[in-house]
């Protein structure tokens, strides 16, 4: 297993040999800035990583810190799920390790916080951020809990460009091998997916957009069945020719990861708002799963190249 204590900008994240072997990753691929080779169009680019992890809410403080340090060692932007009771722990960790933390007030709005490494990002001067209520299927403190969308606009320091990060967590037990269960929780999740899409569309006018979250629908099952209200159809538009600009997940852009994110399923996602080639400033260049967690989920990470 791997433990990473918040690697500084430009250093290689610690990845277990098992992860490297199964994903074919090159060790040492940290954040970098490059200039196009002589003879090509002059362009400066830099790289950063976005990570996501659903940290099991019932694990111990020590295991929570283990998993947080593990996923944080791989990324510069981070979205978390199920940390609604970890506010003080997260604040102390962020203050001690050089991270910004946006965790909306309130128990359930705080379940999906967003973090950014201070050496690479800062909040935009406009302070754009928000938390939007989606649903409370269970009601009266019964599961599933209230669901929210959390988002914030960060400034990418090397380029000065804005990156809008949206993070959320869909209701569990909504799909049966890619087909929907006929349950109220499924209908609420379908509304949730549409709200994610609409928020991404809206934020795309204010910079680049990434979306992260535990969506509780397996990517491969979803692509095979293509139910009209699940993420592959609603968010990715079934990868239709000409359906760009739009959201595309790491799985659809770069292939299905060797490792799953929960059991045998790939239900944790990172999406990019992909623009037409003539307007594209950011591009996903790598996508992998981080194992060795003490939670039930593995983490997922996407690397991006940003044109300055």
Q: What is the pLDDT of residue 34?
A: 55
Helix spans in the chain (H): 17-23, 61-72, 87-97, 184-203, 219-225, 231-234, 250-254
**Do the Cβ atoms of 124 and 14 come closer than 8 Å?**
no
Mean pLDDT, residues 228-255 taken together: 95
More confident call, 191 vs 15: 191
Please provide the average confidence, as pLDDT, over all residues in the chain.
Answer: 89
Domain 17-307, CATH homologous superfamily name and number: Endonuclease/exonuclease/phosphatase (3.60.10.10)
Pairing state between β 44-54 and 77-81: parallel
Q: What is the pLDDT of residue 139?
A: 87
Q: Rg for the chain (alpha carbons), in Å?
A: 18
Mean pLDDT, residues 104-120 taken together: 97
Pairing state between β 114-117 and 121-123: unpaired
* Segment among 11-20, 62-71, 239-248 with least mean pLDDT: 11-20
State the Cα–Cα distance between residues 186 and 23, nearest whole angstrom. Answer: 33
Mean pLDDT, residues 50-59 taken together: 98
* Segment among 38-52, 125-139, 259-273, 291-305 with least mean pLDDT: 38-52
Q: What is the pLDDT of residue 142?
A: 80
More confident call, 177 vs 34: 177
Mean pLDDT, residues 231-245 taken together: 93
Residue 227 reports pLDDT greater than 70? yes
Q: What is the pLDDT of residue 18?
A: 41
**Do the Cβ atoms of 220 and 256 come closer than 8 Å?**
yes
Secondary structure (H, E, C), 133-162: EEECCCCCCCCCCCEEEEEEEEEECCCCCE
Q: What is the pLDDT of residue 28?
A: 37
Pairing state between β 246-249 and 179-180: unpaired
Query: Could you report the per-residue pLDDT of 141-178, keeping only the tens digit for each?
Result: 689 999 999 999 999 999 999 999 999 999 999 999 99
**Do the Cβ atoms of 96 and 130 come closer than 8 Å?**
no
Q: What is the pLDDT of residue 8?
A: 35
Mean pLDDT, residues 192-202 taken together: 98
State the Cα–Cα distance between residues 131 and 108, nearest whole angstrom. Answer: 10
Q: What is the pLDDT of residue 163?
A: 98
89-to-6, 7, 78, 242 alpha-carbon distances in Å: 15, 19, 16, 45
């Amino acid at each position: 297993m791997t433990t990473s204590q918040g690697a500084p900008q430009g250093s290689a994240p610690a990845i277990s040999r098992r992860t490297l072997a199964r994903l074919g990753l090159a060790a040492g691929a940290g954040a970098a800035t490059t200039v196009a080779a002589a003879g090509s169009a002059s362009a400066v680019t830099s790289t950063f990583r976005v990570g996501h992890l659903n940290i099991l809410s019932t694990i111990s403080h020590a295991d929570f810190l283990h998993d947080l340090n593990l996923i944080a060692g791989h990324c510069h932007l981070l979205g978390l799920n199920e940390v609604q009771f970890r506010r003080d722990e997260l604040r102390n960790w962020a203050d001690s390790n050089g991270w910004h933390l946006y965790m909306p007030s309130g128990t359930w709005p705080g379940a999906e916080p967003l973090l950014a490494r201070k050496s690479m990002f800062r909040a935009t001067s406009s302070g754009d951020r928000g938390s939007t209520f989606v649903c409370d299927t269970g009601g009266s403190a019964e599961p599933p809990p209230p669901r929210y969308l959390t988002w914030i606009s960060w400034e990418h320091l090397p380029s000065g460009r804005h990156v809008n990060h949206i993070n959320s967590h869909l209701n569990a037990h909504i799909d049966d091998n890619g087909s929907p269960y006929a349950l109220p929780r499924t209908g609420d999740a379908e509304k949730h997916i549409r709200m994610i899409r609409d928020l991404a569309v809206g934020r795309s006018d204010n910079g680049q957009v990434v979306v992260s979250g535990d969506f509780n629908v397996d990517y491969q099952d979803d692509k095979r069945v293509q139910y009209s209200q699940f993420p592959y159809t609603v968010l990715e538009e079934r990868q239709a020719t000409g359906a760009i600009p739009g959201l595309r997940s790491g799985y659809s852009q770069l292939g299905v990861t060797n490792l799953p994110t929960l059991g045998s399923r790939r239900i944790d996602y990172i999406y990019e708002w992909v623009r037409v080639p003539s307007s594209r400033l950011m591009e996903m260049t790598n996508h992998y799963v981080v194992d060795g967690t003490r939670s039930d989920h593995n983490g997922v990470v996407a690397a991006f190249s940003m044109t300055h």
